[in-house]
Amino acid sequence: MQKTKITRFIEKYFLGGLVENALWDVKGNVLSTRVDGDGTSFKAMVAIKDLEIEDCQLPVYDTDKLTKLFSVLESDVTLKVQKIDDTPIAVNAKDKDTTITFNLADKDIIPVSGPLKIEPDWTGVFKMDSSASSKFINGCGALSDSVHFTFITTDSVQLVLNYEKNRNVDKISIPLNTISNDGIEELSFASQHLRNMLVANKDAESINIKVSNDGLMEVKCMGSDFLSTYYLLPLDK
C-alpha cells in the first residue's frame, strides 16, 4: 500500500501535534478514529478507506513517534499487526528492505471521544473553497500573535482573523460562500485549531462549515477516499 494513506490519516487527527493519543479502528478496509483535542475544546472524527489491514483496534499512545518512524520508509509499504492471544501489541511496517516496529499501548489508557450528545440547530451553513482555505492559513501566519477568528455578517458572512469589536486592530476578512444564514452571532473560535485542520485536509475536494448560535462549529472535509469531521467550541471573549 502507499505509505501516504497512513500518513494522511495521521495528519488529519494529529493536527500538527494537538492530539497524541488515538485508538485506530480498522473495519472492512476502513481506518477510523475519534479523538478529543486540546482538553475538550474540539472533537475530531477521521476515516480513510481502501487500506489493506486486517480488522482490529490499534491503541496509539505516541503519534509523533509513529510519524517519525514512518518517515524512514519509502513510499510502498506493507503493514502487519503483531498479536499475543489475539491482542495487538505492535505494528510492523516494511518497505523493500527496511522494517519499523511500533509498540502499541494498552487500549484502556487511550481516551476515545464520544459522539455528540445532541446535534444543535445550525444557524449558518457555508462552503469554503480552496482559495479561502489558503488565505485563512496564510492569514494565521501573517497575524501570528492572534489566537482567534470571528464570524461577522456584513453584506456577506466573513471569517475575520483578529476581530475586536471595540478596538482598531490589524485584521483579515475572508468571505464564505453562504448556503444559509438565520442570523449568525459574532462567535469566535481558536484560529490555530481551524488552521491546522485546513492544513491537514489540503487534499479535500469540499469543505463545509456549520455554525450554531448555541455555541458549536462543525468543519467537514471530504475527499475521494476520506472524511474528516471536526467540532469546535467557541472562545470566551
CATH number at residue 211: 3.10.150.10
For residue 31, tell me if it sits in a domain: yes
Using the 3D structure, point to which of 109, 141, 163 is the last residue of a domain. 109
The predicted pLDDT at position 71 comes to 96
Determine the pLDDT at residue 237: 62
Q: What is the per-residue pLDDT for 1? A: 80
With 0-12 CB in 10 A as exposed, 13-18 as middle and 19+ as buried, what is 159?
buried
Q: For the chain of 237 residues, list the mean pLDDT of each consecutive stretch of 10.
A: 93 96 96 89 95 94 97 94 96 96 96 88 96 97 95 92 93 96 95 97 98 97 98 89
Could you give the C-alpha distances from 163 to 34, 46, 109, 118, 158, in angstroms and in order? 31, 30, 40, 30, 11
One domain for residues 103 and 130: no
Domain containing 42 equals 3-109
> Nearest to residue 34, comparing CAs of 53, 47, 50, 15?
47
> Which of 109, 143, 158 marks a domain boundary?
109
**CA 139, CA 136: separation in Å to the nearest integer?**
5
Domain annotation covers residue 160: yes
How many distinct structural domains can be found in the chain?
2
**C-alpha cell recorded at residue 135:** 488565505
Set of cell numbers at residue 15:
493536527
Angle between helices 191-200 and 3-14 (to 10 degrees): 170
Last residue of some domain: 78, 109, 140? 109
**21 in the same domain as 95:** yes
